[in-house]
Structure 1
């Protein structure tokens, strides 16, 4: 039941899970965004934005267009309220759904990222191939994970890094790099690649 709340938070428990995600992912948001070299006027997509903390950080860049998709209606509503309260840019579009359901954008995206949610994707290679089709040539993607499941340790992070590298390769991405960062309860991994 709690595991489901992390993939699709809803109700009172979902709000608590959202709060936990804010606390847990603060450093991961900063770390992930640092690999994307965000710039003014970038078109940026976050997959599984949860409570929207990473989107808030990306919104600080002048003229960016932000997009986000999340499988939880609760997170979409909560994040929209929070971003509007905090004067987020007008160029923001949040959607309810799964990453593989995204339709083509009017213009290609510059950057895509996902933090702690790739493990919830049913068909990750197919989803990544679809996301690659939405990126401009030379666009970047960053996928970050910190394993929390029972029995996970720093070796789990190393394995996940290899798996992320393989998924990105199989989806057609290039220049794949994998980075490990010491975090609690286990090390975190970020795989970065280019289209």
Structure 2
């Protein structure tokens, strides 16, 4: 694995600087089917509370707010992405409906049963502790709440040069087992692009 590939892979896990901004724009383009899948499956009202894990440049936050005007929260480890996402969603931020913060999804600073919906697109590969992150999501979801976890398949990820370091790889069965371990009562998987990407829907 070249140093350049390793550097690019690290940018997908923690976007920063000009290269990080460019990587996020690329992700917005190549992940459009994933964003559409999430937005079309979610049903919210203006009082609902949503958490987006790894909001990046705020693309999904923007889409959800435009459609539902709900209360959108976000957590990301990149200070640079917080600045970009806040700028992109300035209207919602100024209106008190969008709240973006820096942090780790394994340590969510929210009360129990706070969110109606939690979303994550291509972040779970980078979590320090997969089960702990899922436990935190479960804790902060209301009864009946849903976590939409959107990912690429293990086979597809493993063929990319920049994923050979810093990425964790999971099979569909792993996501189901993790969800059962933390207490989710209903877990379903929906294909986005057959053999390439899918969405795991966890219902509390």
Pick the TM interval, shorter chain.
0.7 to 0.9
Alpha-carbon distance between aligned partners in 1 of 2:182 and 2:188, rounded to the nearest angstrom: 15
Alpha-carbon distance between aligned partners in 2 of 1:125 and 1:2, rounded to the nearest angstrom: 26
Instruction: Indicate the larger mover: 91-100 or 160-169.
Output: 160-169
Q: CA RMSD in A?
A: 1.9
Relative to 1, partners in 2 of residues 1:13 and 1:63: Cα closer, same or farther, differing over 3 Å?
closer
Unaligned runs of 5+ in 1: 153-158
Relative to 1, partners in 2 of residues 1:164 and 1:34: Cα closer, same or farther, differing over 3 Å?
farther
CA contact (8 A) 1:108 1:136 kept: yes
TM-score by length of 1: 0.87
CA contact (8 A) 1:39 1:61 kept: no
User: 1:176 — aligned with what?
Assistant: 187
Alpha-carbon distance between aligned partners in 1 of 2:42 and 2:180, rounded to the nearest angstrom: 18
Relative to 1, partners in 2 of residues 1:151 and 1:63: Cα closer, same or farther, differing over 3 Å?
closer
Q: What's the offset of the Cα at 1:182?
A: 1.7
CA contact (8 A) 1:7 1:120 kept: yes
Unaligned runs of 5+ in 2: 1-6, 161-169
User: 1:18 — aligned with what?
Assistant: 24
Q: How many pairs does the alignment contain? A: 185
Q: What's the offset of the Cα at 1:162?
A: 1.7
CA contact (8 A) 1:42 1:110 kept: yes
- Within the candidate set 66, 73, 84, 2:79 is matched to 73
TM-score by length of 2: 0.83
Alpha-carbon distance between aligned partners in 1 of 2:48 and 2:113, rounded to the nearest angstrom: 11
Alignment of 1:1-195 (within 5 A): 1-84=7-90, 87-88=91-92, 89-105=95-111, 108-147=114-153, 148-151=156-159, 160-182=171-193, 187-195=196-204
User: Residue by residue, what CA displacement relative to the aligned partner does 1:48-73 show, whole Å, maximum 9, x if unpaired?
Assistant: 01111111111024551110001111
Relative to 1, partners in 2 of residues 1:160 and 1:37: Cα closer, same or farther, differing over 3 Å?
farther
User: Residue by residue, what CA displacement relative to the aligned partner does 1:88-111 show, whole Å, maximum 9, x if unpaired?
Assistant: 353111011111121124871100
Q: Which runs of 4+ in 1 moved over 6 A?
A: none
CA contact (8 A) 2:113 2:139 kept: no
